[in-house]
Amino acid sequence: MKTQAKIKINWLDEVKAVEPDVIEMRRYLHQHPELSFAEYKTADYIYKQLCSFGVEDIQRNVGNGLGIVARIHGAKPGPVIALRADFDALPIHEETDLPFKSQNEGVMHACGHDAHTAMLLGVAQIMNQHKNNFAGSVVCIFQNAEETKPGGAKSMIEDGALEDVDVIYGIHVVPEHEVGNVGYSMSYGSAASDTIEINVQGRGGHASRPHEAIDSVVIASEIITNLQSIVSRFVDPIDPAVLTFSSVAAGGGTAPNIIADQAKIKGTVRTFSEETRQTIKRKFKQMTQAIVEMNDGSVEVNYYDGYPALLNNRELVKNIVDRIQSAQLFNEVLEIGPMNGAAMIGEDFAYYLQKVPGAFLNIGVKNPGESETYPLHHPKFNLAEEALSKGMELYLFLLMQHLNEVTE
């Protein structure tokens, strides 16, 4: 038995062969969506499909209890490459008229996680059929609860999902790009998204006698205006950061002659570098405390850490993108800069990339010629099913860049 150059499976034919099954699996998943941390039936379904393909090394109940890790071992040891699919849905009432629309009222696969899962199942089936032809292992990580913090990724890593893994890849569908296109970011793919909450406690009183009260509305206003200088004065101008106060509530909006005793402010912080994230967190707490103290009030400051920024491995991405381009597998290979719309959303794939090198790539799912597309998380979101094959092709292409061929 000899190990040769990189594995060469005639995978375009393989993808064609499994495509009908993958479409069917995606439709089944779409019809039976489940919310984060409650994906019991989905986890069962994935497990049963993997068993039906003959995959032998399947670990269930990984992480928070619903994750699945399927390891497909080649004929000889070699590189260990992980692929990840998420499988939770959203609390959205589906408004498509698909024949396989959600049967679970108020829950919808509006982020394409049904497609991610079906594609990875298809890849698992193909690689399992070819396990005698390669050296190394393919680790298929099926992760629940991507949409809801603390997410599923972290607990899966703590439970050993990345054990011995050399490189990891993930794919997300993008409705704004046409089928056949691939998107990538050289470095940051998504921002860290943290949530802030400030509860100001003043003292109520008559509006005509402010000196006897502690005006929570004035304190809240000072916080909102003064904290704008955090991004403008304490953050490196070439390092993107956003601090937005998105909600303010005080006084109940009824009486004009009462000074409100409490004010609640909510907002969000988006950053890429960890250093900037920590600077904003520190200044946010410090300035809020100082302003409240100056006004004789008291305050509860909550800063909730969201998912960290998603940082792709630059060298790996560069290499992969060059090869994808020269293989001419996709119509367009687009660089999606970190400030480009979708990139400012959170994604818990970031945790995997903190542990092992890898990349999170996008595939287009828009039907060419279709004028109207709906964004992710929209009740009318839909994807072109041709994209499932393209996603599988991309996964297989990535695997073949790492795994070695074994011949008798």
| C-alpha–C-alpha distance, residues 146 and 151, integer Å | 5
Q: Which of 111, 198, 241, 388 binds Zn ion (CB under 5 A)?
A: 111
b/e string for 12-45 if b means 16 or more Cβ within 10 A? Answer: eebbeebbebbbebbbebbbbbbbbbebeebbeb
Catalytic position from the list 86, 94, 114, 146: 146
Q: Tell me the window of 103-111, 220-228, 271-279, 319-327 that interacts with Zn ion (CB under 5 A).
A: 103-111
Min separation Cβ 90 and Zn ion, Å: 7
**Residue placing its CB nearer to Zn ion in the complex, 53 or 360:** 360
62 binding Zn ion? (CB under 5 A): no
* Residues 94 and 111 sit within 8 Å (Cβ to Cβ): no
Q: Tell me the window of 106-114, 257-265, 294-302, 354-362 that interacts with Zn ion (CB under 5 A).
A: 106-114
**Residue placing its CB nearer to Zn ion in the complex, 191 or 220:** 191
**Residue placing its CB nearer to Zn ion in the complex, 111 or 230:** 111
| C-alpha–C-alpha distance, residues 140 and 136, integer Å | 13
**Residue placing its CB nearer to Zn ion in the complex, 295 or 362:** 362
Min separation Cβ 84 and Zn ion, Å: 12
Min separation Cβ 112 and Zn ion, Å: 6
Min separation Cβ 50 and Zn ion, Å: 22
b/e string for 263-298 if b means 16 or more Cβ within 10 A? Answer: bebbbbbbbbbeebbebbbebbbebbeebbeebebe
Q: Give how many residues touch Zn ion by CB under 5 A.
A: 1
Q: From residue 17, give the alpha-carbon distance in Å to each of 14, 39, 180, 387, 394.
A: 5, 29, 19, 15, 16
**Residue placing its CB nearer to Zn ion in the complex, 111 or 214:** 111
342 binding Zn ion? (CB under 5 A): no
Residue 146 is among the residues annotated as catalytic for this protein:
yes
Residue 13 is among the residues annotated as catalytic for this protein:
no
Q: Where are the alpha helices (DSSP H) in 235-345?
A: 274-294, 314-327
Residues near Zn ion (CB under 5 A): 111
> Where in the sequence numbering do the catalytic residues fall?
88, 146
